[in-house]
Structures are given as C-alpha cells and as structure tokens.
Amino acid sequence: MGELHGERIRLLQERLAGDGFDYYIVWNADPYLNEYIDDHYKYRDYLSGFTGSNGTLLVGRKESILWTDGRYYIQAEKELKGSGVELYKMQEKDVPSLTEYLAAHAAGGRVGMDGSLISRAEYEELTEACPDTVFDLSADYAGKLWEGRPAETARPIRLLPKSIAGKTVGEKLKEVIKGLCKQGADILMLSDMSDIMWLFNIRGDDIRYSPLARSYAFVSRQKTLLFVDGCCAGSEIYAAMQTYGVTVRPLMDIYSGINMPKDCVLACDKNRTNARLFALRAKGNSVLPVNNHDLIRKAVKNRTEIKNARKFHLLDGAAITEWIFTVKKKMEAGENLREYEAAKLAENIKSGRKGYLGESFETICAFRENGAIVHYKPAEKGSKKLAPEGFLLLDCGAQYYGATTDMTRTIALGPLTAEMKEDYTAVLKGHLQLMRLVFLKGSHGENLDLAAREPIWERFIDYRHGTGHGVGSFLCVHEGPQSIRFQIRENAVTPALEEGMILSDEPGIYRKGKYGIRIENLLLCVQKRKNEWGTFLGFEPLTFIPYEREAILRERLTAPEKETLNLYHRAVYEALKEEVSPEAEKWLREVCAEI
C-alpha cells in the first residue's frame, strides 16, 4: 500500500510543478471544521495512507511531510511505511511546526490549499508568519486527482422534542440574540455543525459517530436563516422553523444566492469558520471576532440534558460491565476471541439498551502491546487474538437518544506483572484524585490537570494526550471549549469550568511494545459549597463501571483515595445490580467489595 500512496503523491507533485506551486497543504478537515469528517474529504488519507484524526500533510515538489501528535506516533510510523512521507512528531524537540517549516522553506514561493478546509484563524497565523509567501485558497486537487472519490453523505434531519433538548428553539434564539446585542453585533455567522444542531434542536446523520447535518446559519434581530440540504429537511423541519421565525434555505446558498446586508457588524468565530467562507461573507462588513461558546451555551448542560445524561450513562455502564464479565468468562473457558470480535461484542451488548443509536467514535479494543497505540483500532481481519494474560484496553462510547457517552477500562485477562500493577495503580490514583477534587469557581482545566498527572509524573512517566475533554449532549463526543490539560496553548480558548459542564477524566500510561493502561469516566461539574470564600465546585461521576480490582496495589493508595474508590464502587453496585444479568450481578458484588 505504501507504494500506491507514494505514486499518488508523485502525481500531485507533477501537477504542482505544472501549475506553479511550490507546496500544497492537505488538511484533514471539512468545510465545517468538524473533528470527524465525511469520507468525501479524506484526501490526506487517500494520498498518504495515514488515517489518524489529527495530522496535516505538506506536499512539496520534492518532499512530503506529515505532522501529527503523540497519540499517533506509532500508528503513523506503520501507516506511512513505504509511502515516502516523512513523519514529523509534533511537540518533539527540534521538530518545526508546519508554519515554521513554510516560513523557512516557502519564502517568496507559492502555496496552494483548499481554503474551505482551514479556519480563518489558522489562515491568518500562516500569512502573518510567512509574509513573503503567496497562499492560494482556491486550489482543490482532491476534486481533480482523486479517482473514485466518495460522494458527500446526505441523510434525513430529525427534530428534537423539548423533552430531549430541554429548551425550545425560540428560547435559545432569544438568549443568543441577547448576547449578540450585548456584544454590539448585528449578525452572527455559524458554520460549526454542533452549534447549529444545538441551537435549532435538530440532529442529522451526515457524519459518522456524530449526529450532525451539514449546515450553516445566520442569526440576527431581524432575520434568522438556516442553511441545510433541501433533500434532507422534511416538511416538518420547515414548519417548525417557521414557527420561530427561521427561514430555511438551500445549503450552498451560504456561498451564493443571498445578499448580505452591507455596513453591518458581523460576529464570527474565526476558529470555527473556514477561510473561504469568511473572505466571501466578511467582505464589505465590519467583523467582530467572537467565541461561539460565549453565545451558544451548549457546553453548560440544562436540567433536562443532565437528567438524560445520568439516565443513559447508567445504561451504558451496565452494558460495559456485562461486557467485562463476559470477556473474562470467555477467557476462563478458553474460547477464541480476537480484538475485533471483542469490540463488536461490546457494541452488540449496548445495542440492546433502549435509546441506543450507535457508536460515538470508533471503538478502541487493544490487547497487550497494541494498548500502547493510544488510538489503536482493531481490523476485522488479522486483529490480535486474546489470551488469558495481561491487559485488554477498551475505549468506546455511544450515542443515545438524549446523551453521548465515552468510557475506558483496562481489564486483566490473566496474571499481571509487578510493573503492570504499579502502572495501573498510578493511573488509578490520578484518576481518583481528579474525580474527588474540589476547586474554586473560576478555575480552568489547566489548574486541575496536575491532580491526575502527579502520581504518574512521580514515576517520571507522562502520557501524550489531554486528561479531559468536553462531551456534548447527544452531540459530539469531543466538544469544547472546556478541557483538562497542563499545556498553556497560545490563542487557545480555555474558559473557566462551570457547573453543568461534562468532562472526561482519562489519565494513562503507555509502554511501547508491552501494554497500555487508561481509565476514563465522564464527570459532571457540580457545585459543592458556597460560603464567604466563594463558590466551590467539584465533580459527580456519570460513568458507573467497576475498576480492575486484580490490578490495584492497595498499599499504594492513600486513605482519601481508598475512601473515594470504596464510595465509587458502592455506588456502582447499587446503580447496576438490577441492570445486569444475575450471574454478572454476583460477580459485580465481589469486585465492588470494599478495599
């Protein structure tokens, strides 16, 4: 396969030279800047063979380079083999960023890209860092050179009732327009599909794992326009939107077919709007840079969304607990089971739960050394056979009709080494410390990250991913802007944590060639106490799944950590005892017994 991808890159290099380009940037993105993208836009995968969710390919006339982060180093090395693409490991010492590389090598040159696949903010950073370089936003080589390119997905759009959304479209629009006026803007331009889905109480199925429909919107005091594919929006969508004064227009009218008011103040999140659309619609108007999350308050869940989250996480936890019990039994019985089959077993058990709609991301099911590949995906053919020894890591999530879930458990299939137990206990300590943390309102995720990493850093180990990410409400499994990570990232939007936000808690340790350990719960940010010192916040676990009792070195746990563990296991048993099979319930009682 590497030779095939090398040939595809060579053909692109020939076209670059013929068209007068020195470099071409291949973004892993769609025009909506969504995390998971439709196959129609996976030109980077087509060219290089690399399939990770984060990675940018630069093709020059003579060289080709892929940048990706620490989650994908091992995966990228395997998938790029034979393609001729050089791997640049982001955040590693002496490795230049894409922008730094272009500043050094493309001065006075011409760089092409599809401008609809890069945010306006990223484009401005590029042009500021490379003032002597000409960037052409109109170069779309995917449309010219990609043989057998898949068509864009277009599926029906559904309306959500208030019992799922918690608020009506009218109530949400009123809040957004109030915020718009407060900021002194006339129109808000939206191209983030998750923001649009939340605001208009609709969901789609155009993007795998995320209930999104391709869409754009303009919101103003005078008129609100919703742009969707007319073939996907039934008459009930038009009627419902009309009730709230929303006009539904064909999707591509956002680029042409409508006249923008002139001399108005256009509010736009440059991080969430593609450069091509920005250039077209900002022309002739003043632009007020905003952060969408300040106006679209979907990160702070309302009472209905929280109620549904608790309900469906309980069902999800019961399904995964049943899965753990079943896999262990199969290993004890000597049954043949591979990673892929184990992953499908988890999906099958979840699919029997009421409200289940599908996975929220591609399941990670990794045995032994594959667990060290942070985002490892088992293939249908050739995945590793499980054996009654070592660790099996399962990281999976689901979309339910009212909530989005995400969890990780690392389970013992048989005997564990002393090193495995030391590592598992360190990860568990960090996980528990974050879950039990109390902090003053106004704290950011960067302030909290040390609680999870401290037991791991003490052993001079680290994990190359964030500790926590935001999660949507029957939306995207990775939904910002809230996060928990220690790096202070320039120009990153990292607001203070608020009551009602949902975040993951997922520290890990990864031993290349040996195993990987990660433990993940989703947590709801809640108020703990309010007094003369201020408002104190903390977390309430939404995920209820037992930890791996056999891997815990009890003497390594502090008294507060033991208390947190025992309280959690008690809650797990009480929550799940009637949701799992009688045989699993007996096992659950044993593994949740006090330590």
pLDDT digits (tens, 9 = 90+) for 488-521: 776 666 899 999 999 999 999 999 999 999 999 9
482/298 Cα distance (integer angstroms): 11
Return phi, psi of residue 74, to 5°.
-65, -45
CATH 3.90.78.10 fits 303-587, yes or no: no
Angle between helices 120-129 and 98-105 (to 10 degrees): 40
Q: Which residue in 471, 455, 474 sits closest to 463, CA to CA?
A: 455
Reference 321, options 92, 549, 75, 46; nearest CA is: 549
Report the run of H or E that residue 125 belongs to, with start and end: helix 120-129
Per-chain mean pLDDT for the chain: 94
Q: Residue 455, preceding bond cis, omega within 30 degrees?
A: no
Nearest to 456 by CA among 506, 491, 502: 506
Q: Which of 451, 439, 449 is nearest to 534 (CA)?
A: 439
Q: What are phi and psi of 428, to 5 degrees?
A: -60, -40
* Predicted pLDDT of residue 283: 80
The structure tokens 């037992």 sit at: 546
The helix/strand/coil state of 561 is: helix
Task: Please report, for residues 67, 90, 115, the alpha-carbon distance to residue 104 in angstroms, rounded to integers and kept in the order given.
Answer: 16, 17, 22
Kindly report, residue by residue over 285-318, the tens digit of the pLDDT: 889 999 999 999 999 999 999 999 999 999 999 9
To the question of domain 158-295 being in CATH 1.10.760.10, the answer is: no
User: Residue for token digits 């339910």?
Assistant: 400
Q: How confident is the model at residue 91 (pLDDT cuts 50, 70, 90)?
A: confident
Token pair listed for 425: 């206990």
DSSP 48: H
Average pLDDT estimate for 427-436: 98
- Listed range (115-129, 359-373, 391-405, 480-494) with the worst mean pLDDT: 480-494
Reduced to 3 states (helix: H, G, I; strand: E, B; else coil), residue 309 is helix
Which distant-in-sequence residues (6+ apart) come within 8 Å of 5 by Cβ?
47, 48, 49, 82, 83, 85
Dump pLDDT digits (tens) for 127-141: 999 999 999 999 999
Domains in the chain: boundaries: 2-145, 158-295, 303-587
pLDDT at 221: 86
Compute the distance between CA of residue 453 and CA of residue 275 in angstroms, rounded to an integer: 37
Does 158-295 match 2-145 at the fold level? yes
What the block records as the tokens of 328 is 């262990």
Residue 487 pLDDT exceeds 90: no
Range 52-76 burial, b when 16+ CB lie within 10 A, else e: bbebbbbbbeeebbbbbbbbbbbbb
How many whole angstroms separate alpha carbon 251 and alpha carbon 216? 7
Contact criterion met (CB below 8 Å) for 470 and 491: no
AA letter at 1? M
**CATH class entry, domain 2-145:** alpha beta
Calpha distance 427→413 (Å, rounded): 18
* Cα 429 → chain centroid: 25
Taking the CA atoms of 320, 324, 330 and 336 in sequence, report the sign of the dihedral they define: positive
SS3 576: helix
